[in-house]
Amino acid sequence: MEIATPIGSILERKGAAIWSVDPGDTVFNAIALMAERDVGALPVLKDGRLLGMISERDYTRKVVLLGRASRQTAVADIMRREFIVVSPQDTVQECMRLMTDNRVRHLPVMEGARMVGLISIGDVVNWIIGAQSTAIEDLEHFVTGAYPA
């Protein structure tokens, strides 16, 4: 199975589009962008620099449960300032371990100080399922003699 595949391969397949918010944006605008793009988290960027992450989980725990107003609360007030990043060379297996051990669902992918993508737990799981399907198909071809020489 292709667990040793670099995370950069997932970015190539899914595309490296990055939707982000500014720390001064309202939480309401961040949640609206998440809904529009069907994502669960966004990087918080200022002048191209990654400052934090904001997720639906942050919204529910730091706005809704505390009775704050999303239209008046700035992203900077609730974003996570501590986050784990990976590089395009890190493996799918390493990213899965980081996500599991640290209970995070999104990892910014960085090349030096530049963000080049965002990987979600769904991206990693889909990659693993695809690799497993390919391995099973290859084994079936091998067993039935249909495996290319």
- Tell me the pLDDT tens digit for each residue of 15-37: 878 999 999 999 999 999 999 99
Interval 49-76 mean pLDDT: 96
For 23-141, list the strands marked E by DSSP.
41-46, 49-55, 106-111, 114-120
Interval 96-119 mean pLDDT: 94
**Longest Cα separation, the chain:** 65
Residue 135 φ then ψ, to 5°: -65, -40
Take residue 89 and report the two structure tokens written for it: 């060379």
Q: Is the pLDDT of residue 87 over 60?
A: yes
With a pLDDT cut of 70, the percent of the chain lying above it is 92
Q: Is the pLDDT of residue 98 over 90?
A: yes
CB atoms near residue 43 (< 10 Å): 21
One-letter identity of residue 105: R
Take residue 128 and report the two structure tokens written for it: 């693993």
pTM, entire model: 0.83
Contact by Cβ (8 Å): 117, 109: yes
Q: Is the pLDDT of residue 138 over 80?
A: no
Residue 66 has, within 13 A of its CA and on its CB side, a CA count of 13
Under DSSP, the state recorded for 60 is I
Q: Is the pLDDT of residue 149 over 60?
A: no
Q: Is the pLDDT of residue 146 over 60?
A: yes
